[in-house]
Structure 1
């Protein structure tokens, strides 16, 4: 149930951001933005929020979400051909989604993802080694060497 509420928050915030940018500034219809938000929300939640965030940190997960968003938005905008400047529209929309993800990841880390679900990369790996002076035969300290 916690994941459903997180997905709903992500969907509503992304829908508002993407409609303001792609709908009002670049002429995409609400239905197109709605479909884009659904695809982007599911892909970014599974890849960026459930797989990458628990194993890394907020910065890496946000960068990954930015690139996921940029790729998915680029494919949608290119397929719908709403503007001549696809790169600018995609970059502005992906930056807005990335900025939202910074705060969303904090919410996920504090409220949704429990500490016991953290992956092996979050644990401090403490390897202990032993070293001794008896690695080989060594002459006694008081014995002199012949040269």
Structure 2
């Protein structure tokens, strides 16, 4: 139930934002904006919010959501709508969604992920040490000692 609520919290502002940007500014129909919001919401919630966010940080997940949203908006706008120029609307809409996603990820950390779900990162001390010695690079005998002069 918490994932349904979290998806609705994601879908509603995303739909409103895309309706303003794509529908209001670029004239894409509300039905197309609804389908785009639904597809983008499902894919980015599954890939970015449930898979990537617990394993990385907010910035990484936000950048991934930006790239994924840009590709999806660009592909759907190019194939579903009669708009000729799709690059700039896709960039503006994906940037708007990325700003929203940054704050949405904070909401997910607080209210959706429980204590045992959040830290999926590698645990432990990963401080590796290396050892170097003179034997790593061979030295010509005439450089180090006088035996090379013979």
TM-score greater than 0.5 by the shorter chain: yes
How far is the alpha carbon of 1:47 from its aligned partner?
0.3
Residues 55-94 of structure 1: pairs in structure 2 closer than 5 A: 55-94=55-94
Distance 2:51 2:87 in 1: 28
Q: Which runs of 5+ in 1 are unaligned?
A: 130-147
Aligned residues: 128
C-alpha change, 1:20 and 1:128, in structure 2 (3 Å) is closer
- RMSD after superposition: 1.6
Partner of 2:125: 126
Distance 1:120 1:18 in 2: 32
* Off by >4 Å, runs of 4+ in structure 1: none
How high is the TM-score relative to the length of structure 2? 0.80
Question: Is 1:97 matched with 2:113?
Answer: no
SS in 2 for 1:116: coil
How high is the TM-score relative to the length of structure 1? 0.82
Q: Name whichever structure is richer in helix by fraction.
A: 2
Partner of 2:14: 14
How far is the alpha carbon of 1:85 from its aligned partner?
1.9
Distance 2:106 2:47 in 1: 16
Distance 2:127 2:93 in 1: 48
C-alpha change, 1:76 and 1:128, in structure 2 (3 Å) is closer
Partner of 2:44: 44
